[in-house]
Amino acid sequence: MIKDKIVLLGGTYLNEDKSDTPLGEMSGVETTANVIESELRGSMKPPSFLSMAFLQIFDGVLLIALFQIFPWRKAFILSLPFIVVLSLACSLFSYYSFSYWLFFAPVMIGVLLTEIIDKGKDYFKKRYKGKVEETYQELGGHLPSEK
């Protein structure tokens, strides 16, 4: 009668073996039965390396495009909610759940930091070039070695 069946033995133990679960309050044996049933149905297959790499590259390119389209201050302000929304969307697309968003956020945060550093270098380069030109004009357009 129980050949090729799974048998679980348990009880309520004076209601001391109750746990709150997303499905409501359950006894320990009911929780174990749900876990076994989920495993027998098959767990979710993780996305392939190729699809994860494609999504990471896609996210990075979109973030870079944001900085190319808008001025850097506006792009920075827009990028913060953009990272959150895009991470959640990629998580939902890959895992059918919002809970894996943290797999996608670090790459976009790295792209954001790279863009900020790049804009900072451009700012200081332009500032340095302006100082050099200003000093050159003060010297009457002649380099010190030409006098």
Contact 83, 108 (CB under 8 A): yes
Predicted TM-score (pTM) of the model is 0.60
Q: What tens digit of pLDDT does each residue of 91-131 get?
A: 998 888 888 888 899 999 999 999 999 988 999 999 998 88
How far is Cα 77 from Cα 83, in angstroms, rounded to an integer?
11
Region 139-145: mean pLDDT is 65
Residue 89 has pLDDT above 80, yes or no: yes
Q: How many CA atoms lie within 13 A of 99 on its CB side?
A: 2
Query: Which three-class secondary structure state does DSSP give residue 4?
Result: coil
Q: What tens digit of pLDDT does each residue of 55-80 get?
A: 999 999 999 999 999 998 899 999 99
Reported confidence tier of residue 145, pLDDT bands at 50, 70, 90: low
Residue 146 has pLDDT above 60, yes or no: no
How far is Cα 92 from Cα 47, in angstroms, rounded to an integer?
11
Reported confidence tier of residue 19, pLDDT bands at 50, 70, 90: confident
Region 77-91: mean pLDDT is 93
How far is Cα 70 from Cα 63, in angstroms, rounded to an integer?
11
Q: What tens digit of pLDDT does each residue of 38-48 get?
A: 888 876 777 88
The 10 Å CB-count burial string (b at 16+, else e) for 123-146 is: eeeeeeeeeeeeeeeeeeeeeeee
